[in-house]
Amino acid sequence: MACALVLAILVSSVLHPLSLTTLADESDNNRDALLCLKSRLSITTWNTTSPDFCTWRGVSCTGQPQLPLVVALDMEAQGLTGEISLCMSNLTSLVRIHLPNNQLSGHLPPEIGRLSGLRYLNLSSNALSGEIPESLSLCSSLDVLALSSNSVGGAIPPLLGTLRNLSSLDLSSNKLSGEIPPLLGSSPALESVSLANNFLEGEIPLFLANCSSLRYLSLQNNSLSGAIPAALFNSSTITEIHVSMNNLSGQIPPFTNFPSKLNYLHLTGNSLTGIVPPSVGNLTRLTGLLIAQNQLQGNIPDLSKLSGLQFLDLSYNNLSGIVPPSIYSLPLLSFLGLANNNLRGTLPSHMGNTLSNINSLIMSNNHFEGDIPASLANASRMEFLYLGNNLLSGVVPSFSSMTNLQVLMLYSNQLEAGDWTFFSSLANCTQLLKVNLGGNKLRGNLPPGSVATLPKSMVNLILRSNYISGTIPLEIGNLSKTSLLYLDNNIFTGPIPSILGQLSKLVVLSLSRNKFSGEIPPTSLAGCQKLVALNLSSNGLNGSINGRMFSKLNQLSWLLDLSHNQFTESIPLEIGSLINLGSLNLSHNKLRGKIPSALGACIRLEALNLDRNLLEGSIPESLTNLKGVKVLDFSQNNLSGTIPEFLETFTSLQYLNMSFNNFEGPVPIGGAFANTSSVFAQGNALLCSNVQVNDLPRCSTSASQRKRKFIVPLLAALSAVVALALILGLVFFGVNLGMGFPCTS
């Protein structure tokens, strides 16, 4: 027996390409390579005091126990750092490298191509950079290559497409550029390709489209162009196609190979034209059909056979006609997107019952008319309901059963409130975040207590342009998470409630075009310190503008509009604390005094409207700091002095109105003043111009005339001085003459 064993070892040593001595050397080399990796990648889980490296965490070996060889490294999410060292290529028996979700950096070394037996390489979700080494194509046994979610750039090596055993390729979410290798898809084993989220361009290769084994293709979010190859849509094996967010053009190819295994088709965000092919209605395994954001026209085809469809998005196209009734009866549909088309018709009364799984109903910006079906109250899984900007009418139904509702968008219709039951029903929508009912015909007062019961989770409340009257309920102060509040263009009356100051997270507050009266609450709005836009225009507000408020609202950056009110007194100096403000409108008030120099500190102003007040004095020199201003309106005040020449240096200025004041002197002619169609200065009796500016009189004195007017009096004065000197000289000479020669009789 022992002799037989010895004989077997001898035969093995002869037949095997490596002698036992070589195997021993190779095993020692493996240990040295692992120790090298430990030091380079900061591996802390290996107990290197143990001589058996096959027991180290994540290390797998094969071969004889006395002469082990490393065949696999599995260390996902182990906090590895540093660069992949060349010493990894010394583990020549490696079959599997699995190191995703670490912090590995640097380049992938070209020496990795020495691992001729490598079948699996996964370095996804690290911080690798550089390019994919061409030597990877020498790993002829490679079955899986995953380098996703790194910062790898450059082109995809052309010879990767020649790896005959490659079944899965994932290079998504990198910085790859150039074209997809034309031979990619030539491998008879290729089943999955993901190149999404890169900078790839060019067309989809025909080899890839014709790949007979391909099941999954993801190319979205690149810059691919050209038409979709027809062969791709007629594959007998493919199950998912993701080519969204590219520059693909042409028509969607028809589907001719049935039965098809395709269950997910994502073409959103391209430039596809033509119609939605009717053959898509025969893809009976489809669960997702997403063709939004293209240029498709025509009618929506019949999809009644797609009983398993869960996601349908045809929004942002030019589709027209009536929605096929079968779509409203797809039992598993959870997402229906038809927004931004030219669709018409009414919403079926039963849709809330037949779409029992609907989660998102997105139908805004169409021409739907009629009532909102009361049956929608039965859609208890609804989270996102978008029906805005249609022709819907009737009373808004109750939403009391939609306990998961997060977003309600019914703006720009002809909806009515009835007894406002719907508004009170929102109390049951405990997850509600955003409500936009603007631009309807709700009318009447907000019911007592209805605002108090609104979910505290609400962040956006938009009720603008609805003919709502009465006062703002004090309970509005309970909406502590609200960031956007639009109540403008209604008929609200009374003072602005000071309780608004409790909305500390408010970012935009618009109360314009109502009938509010009284003064701005002196300290309350100062509590809204996150405001970037405040619009109180077109009301009946009066009194002085409280400057202390501005020192607290220094986050205002978009808009401050107090125009079309009855504010008096002067512009507060604290206005200069709004250093980030982009637009300031104080026009159409009764403000007095001078324009404060502090306005010059608002260096980000793009629009300044102070027109139609009672302001006086000159334009302060400090406004020279407003280099980026585009609109300046000082018209219809009592301002005086000259028009500042620094306005000529405002290169962004597009509109300047100085009319109907008391300005004097010549109008500057450089910069924006050269464009006479954008400068208005009429109604200033003492202004003149050397060029034609909106019927201003020409200055009567040119530069040369002014020069002569200055020189002539100067010469006259000099002549008089010379004449006087001459006379005095003669007198002096005569006196001296008399003294030297006295008269004799």
Strand partners, 543: 567
Question: For the domain bounded by 33-45+52-224, which CATH number is listed?
Answer: 3.80.10.10
Report the range of poorest mean pLDDT among 35-44, 531-540, 651-660, 694-703: 694-703
Among 257, 259, 250, CA closest to 231: 257
Among 596, 591, 590, CA closest to 570: 591
Identify the sign of the CA torsion 541, 546, 552, 558: positive
Determine how β-strand 59-62 pairs with β-strand 69-74.
antiparallel
Among 229, 233, 283, CA closest to 254: 233
Report whether pLDDT(743) > 80. Answer: no
Distance between CA atoms of residues 606 and 581, nearest Å: 8
Tokens encoding 463: 């009720």
Residue-averaged pLDDT of the chain: 89
Give me the helices (H) in 504-546, please: none
Report the range of poorest mean pLDDT among 426-430, 679-683, 709-713: 709-713
Mean pLDDT of 70-79: 94
Among 396, 397, 360, 352, CA closest to 378: 352
Among 526, 529, 531, CA closest to 510: 531
Cis check for the bond before 324: say yes or no (omega within 30 of 0).
no
Mean pLDDT of 116-139: 96
Distance between CA atoms of residues 609 and 132, nearest Å: 58
**CATH architecture, domain 494-633:** Alpha-Beta Horseshoe (3.80)
Mean pLDDT of 711-718: 50
Report the range of poorest mean pLDDT among 71-85, 415-429, 599-613, 700-714: 700-714
3-state secondary structure of 714: helix
Q: Where do the CATH 3.80.10.10 domains begin and end in the chain? A: 33-45+52-224, 494-633
Q: Ranked by mean pLDDT, which of 81-95, 236-250, 255-269 comes out on top? A: 236-250
Contact 341, 318 (CB under 8 A): yes
Q: Name the residue type at position 523.
A: T
Contact 179, 200 (CB under 8 A): yes
Report whether pLDDT(16) > 60. Answer: no
Among 361, 391, 364, 395, CA closest to 376: 361
Residue recorded with tokens 């669709």? 343
Over residues 258-293, the pLDDT tens digits come to 888 999 999 999 999 999 999 999 999 999 999 999
Mean pLDDT of 342-357: 95
Distance between CA atoms of residues 231 and 210, nearest Å: 6
Residue 589, pLDDT score: 97
